[in-house]
Amino acid sequence: MSMTDFADLSAVYLNASLKRNNADSHTQKLMSKSSKIMEAEGVAVETIHMLDHKIGFGMVTDAVADNEAEADEWPSIQAKIMAADILVIGSPIWLGVKSSLATLAIERLYASSGKKNDKGQYLYYGKTAGCIVTGNEDGVKAVGMELLYAFQHIGFVVPPQADCGWIGEAGPGPSYGDENPDTGKPFGFDNDFTNKNTTIMTWNLMHTARILRDLGGFPDKGNVGADWESVTNAAQF
């Protein structure tokens, strides 16, 4: 396929907002700007609002079976992530860090990270991921550090500038997408920096997914856990 044809790709956008209803989530508003770019380019997008689901706690793959949780809808979310080329987690900022739900999502992804993909690599090899962050105070980069670190650590490729976000000036104030009473327009929607970075992130995720798909996943020499001693390796030196 052409390097800029993305019609066979798919993406999951996971919203870790603390707002009960997705329609109230400011983070969703910025996530939608990204996901709509992907959809316009042919990518199949599914958006999941975490609080619409009962998700169990624990370093387990199934919290009902393994951890006495009353319910756990994570396994079906995990299945969707496994079927997708691209994962985007959106998180609000509270006290400068990612939300408890974003932390929960990473924990549940991590709980499966010891499994292997078809090549024998760790499970998430061959996929790419990014993050979208909003708040009214401060912390876009701090949230990005934790999310992107987790992604790469468990096997995702992190493209150039895989994070984007919006915050206002220091202090409490409007959230992303709130109506500006002076102009009648949503706060942040006309922020060129946020729009540019959101655009670049989205394209970079699509490019990376295209490259990985065309390569048949990430090359597998030297990174298959079981075989690391069969290649040139650190224990030799």
Per-residue x/- mask for its own copies, residues 154 to 193, rule CB under 8 A?
Answer: xxxxxxxxxx-xxxxxxxx---------------xxxxxx
Is position 209 an interface residue for its own copies (rule: CB under 8 A)?
no
Query: Cα–chain-centroid distance for residue 90?
Result: 6
Torsion-angle region of 163 (φ positive above 0: left; ψ -120 to 50: alpha; else: beta):
beta
In the chain, what is the greatest distance between 2 CA atoms, to the nearest angstrom? 67
Is 77 an interacting residue with respect to its own copies (CB under 8 A)?
no
Least Å distance, CB 134 to its own copies, is 9
Residues 43, 34: contact at Cβ < 8 Å?
A: no
207 binds its own copies (CB under 8 A): yes
- What's the gap between Cα 122 and its chain centre? 18
Q: Which of 47, 64, 67, 186 binds its own copies (CB under 8 A)?
A: 67
How remote is the C-alpha of 200 from its chain's centroid? 15
Question: Toward its own copies, which CB reaches closer, 24 or 83?
Answer: 24
Of 7-15, 27-35, 79-87, 177-185: span binding its own copies (CB under 8 A): 27-35
Residues touching its own copies: how many (CB under 8 A)? 103
* Minimum CB–partner distance for residue 83 and its own copies (Å): 19
Judged by CB under 8 A, the chain residues 108 through 137 that form the site for its own copies are 110, 121-122, 124-125, 137
Q: What does the block give as tokens for 47?
A: 């958006």
Q: How far apart are CA 11 and CA 86, in angstroms?
A: 4
Q: Is 148 in the site for its own copies (CB under 8 A)?
A: yes
Judged by CB under 8 A, the stretch of 7-15, 79-87, 145-153, 178-186 that binds its own copies is 145-153
Among 122, 38, 49, smallest CA distance to 86 is for 38
Helix (H, G, I), strand (E, B) or coil at 116: strand
61: contact with its own copies by CB under 8 A: no
Task: Point out which span in 7-15, 33-41, 78-86, 177-185 binds its own copies (CB under 8 A).
Answer: 33-41
To its own copies, the closest distance from the beta carbon of 170 in angstroms equals 5
Q: Which residues contact 185 (CB under 8 A, 6 or more apart)?
A: 179
Say how far apart CA 151 and CA 129 lie, in whole Å: 7
Among positions 145, 178, 186, 213, the unique one binding its own copies when judged by CB under 8 A = 145
Out of 22, 32, 112, 175, the residue judged to bind its own copies by CB under 8 A: 32
Rounded to whole angstroms, the Cα distance separating 158 from 128 reads 6
